[in-house]
Amino acid sequence: MDNYHRHTIEATKGKKGRPYEGFMLGWSKNLILQITEQSTYFITINLNNSNLFIFFIYMSPAVNSQVELSQLFDRVTPLLDQNRKVILMGDFNARLGNFNKGQNFRTAKDSVINTRGKLLIKIINTCDLDIGNGTLKGDHSGEFTFSNKNGISTIDLMFYSYSLLANISSFKILNQIDHSDHNPILTTLGTHKKTKPSPLPKLLTTMISKNLKLSSSSPQ
């Protein structure tokens, strides 16, 4: 990890069982990154003072879905209203079934919609966001992201601003890693097309010349 910066939020210790929530975010020392906000269930970053804001999320199944989703989108909606580019990715513990907003045809192996999923769908339908799972190159089949002895589901999700679609090279569900019931999700931003210099933030130039890979893996 010598080539990476790290930022951690300590997990909460309960009266019983292991600690819950908590974050560790790592990024290459080659990137200029600002953490613009953090809470017990999300970290927001901005890259190189650009127009792009990325929310890394972990929502425990035990928390109040209505309250935490409202708090999250209270931060997201103003950015979208200002025409900022936004990505949300992580473990929402929300199952969206075959939800399809209509911008892209979507497939999903997980056909169940849970209570948090219903709340999240209502919010997404009012935002300039689409879902990456089951729609983008690399995950056209809508793979499961979680499996244990109790079953399988798709609860690790990625949402993106419509204006970012041309900059998303792929979205993939990776193989499970040791000591986790989750599959990491990987979003790659970039294009190999040559473009003329523009006054856009330098990050977009970086995204054009090099792939930027964003990965989220849930703590378990």
Over residues 161-176, the pLDDT tens digits come to 999 999 999 999 999 8
User: Over the stretch 35-66, which tens digit does the pLDDT of each residue have?
Assistant: 999 888 899 999 888 999 999 999 988 888 89
End-to-end Cα separation, the chain, in angstroms: 21
Give the strand order in the sheet containing 212-216: 168-173, 185-189, 212-216
pTM: 0.84
Q: What is the CA radius of gyration of the chain?
A: 17
User: Over the stretch 115-128, which tens digit does the pLDDT of each residue have?
Assistant: 999 999 999 999 99
Decide if 7 contacts 13 (C-beta within 8 A).
Answer: no
